[in-house]
């Protein structure tokens, strides 16, 4: 594996985006390619991880940049997982927004994801007597 380079606010091509999201099986996102591209382009911040000219990872946040940021997506190509890329992307975001009161994310309830976020300094909302709610529009 060559050196991984982290880039900020790169304009991504739709095929690069689709390749990444499909690789990690986030198919709900790739059903509407235009919405996905627009969502990424309208994010508060996007960091990407590259091996040469290949997109291997991405983290994006939404929010107001003053009181709350929400980590919307963090994903790394399967072949590159376990190499510290996701942790690096997350640490850069946590450092950038360290003065923000709430940095929030919602993720799958699996041992792997829970372990990853705890290892990287995130805590379950229950620690703060919190609970999360969601409303999905599955159309």
Mean pLDDT of 79-103: 96
pLDDT at position 111 is 92
Could you tell me the CA-to-CA distances from 137 to 13, 28, 79, 134 in Å, in that order?
26, 11, 31, 10
Q: How much of the chain exceeds pLDDT 70, in percent?
A: 99
Beta-bridged to residue 59, according to DSSP, are 47, 74
pLDDT at position 53 is 92
Confidence grade of residue 97 (pLDDT, cut at 50, 70, 90) = very high
Asked if 95 contacts 47 with a C-beta cutoff of 8 angstroms, the reply is: no
Q: List CB contacts of 120: < 8 A, sequence separation 6 or more.
A: 87, 90, 91, 94
Q: pLDDT at residue 138 above 80?
A: no
pLDDT at position 26 is 93
Q: List CB contacts of 16: < 8 A, sequence separation 6 or more.
A: 55
pTM: 0.92
Mean pLDDT of 106-120: 91
pLDDT at position 109 is 87
Mean pLDDT of 57-85: 96
Place of tokens 């739709």: 14
Q: List CB contacts of 75: < 8 A, sequence separation 6 or more.
A: 20, 21, 24, 26, 57, 58, 59, 86
Confidence grade of residue 139 (pLDDT, cut at 50, 70, 90) = low
Q: Average pLDDT of the chain?
A: 93
* Topology given in CATH for the domain delimited by 4-128: Aminopeptidase (3.40.630)
Place of tokens 């594996």: 1
How many other CB atoms are there within 10 angstroms of residue 16's CB atom?
16
Q: pLDDT at residue 81 above 80?
A: yes
Mean pLDDT of 14-33: 94
């Amino acid at each position: 594996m060559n050196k991984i380079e982290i880039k900020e606010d790169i304009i991504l091509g739709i095929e690069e985006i689709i390749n990444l999201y499909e690789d990690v099986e986030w198919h709900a996102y790739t059903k509407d390619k235009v919405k996905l591209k627009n969502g990424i382009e309208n994010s508060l911040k996007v960091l990407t991880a590259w091996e040469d000219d290949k997109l291997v990872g991405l983290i994006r946040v939404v929010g107001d940049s003053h009181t709350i940021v929400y980590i919307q997506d963090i994903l790394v190509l399967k072949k590159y997982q376990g190499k510290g890329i996701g942790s690096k992307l997350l640490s850069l975001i946590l450092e950038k927004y360290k003065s923000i009161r709430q940095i929030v994310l919602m993720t799958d309830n699996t041992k792997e994801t829970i372990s990853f976020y705890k290892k990287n300094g995130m805590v379950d909302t229950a620690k703060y007597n919190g609970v999360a709610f969601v409303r999905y529009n599955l159309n």
